[in-house]
Amino acid sequence: MFSGKTEELLRRLRRAKIARQTVEIFKPAIDIRYSLDEVVSHDKNTILSTPVEHSSNILLLSSEVEVVGVDEAQFFDNGLVEVCQQLADQGVRVIVAGLDMDFKRNPFGPIPALCAIADDITKVHAICVKCGNLASYSHRLVKNDKQIMLGETEEYQPLCRRCFLKK
């Protein structure tokens, strides 16, 4: 979290729009932190999106599109892998943003499988709030063992390996 994943997704989608490509962005319907129908970065940059309950809806809603963006992909079902593969095989450029690990450092949702089939991967890191090194982990600050818990700075903080292991 707090690494700029969504900001990078928005940057890439805006560039595709500048290039006059048809773009559609999807987000999981459960992500209502900032907006019901927009993808919003922590810096409050936004782009209109289509919230979907299930990854299969992406295929239904992305015909005639040249670029598909998917935000918060870790919250989607594992069918997202096949959806992305099918779109890419049809010549659609697919850009996915999501966390690869949950707060317990376990693989998160379809992200590991998406990484395995991706043509290109850009891994971005937050800055550890304790020591200033690159942070790879999301430390949960509140007591809740559910894997999926939407949150912000009150619920999570980015930590490097050393600082995470101290917790």
Active site residues: 72
How far apart CA 45 and CA 39 sit, in angstroms, is 8
Task: Yes or no: say if 31 and 51 are a contact pair by the CB < 8 Å rule.
Answer: yes
Distances (CA, A) of 161 to 4, 79, 83: 19, 31, 33
List the beta bridge partners of residue 156: 140
**Would you list the DSSP string of 49-68?**
-EEESSTHHHHHH-TT-SEE
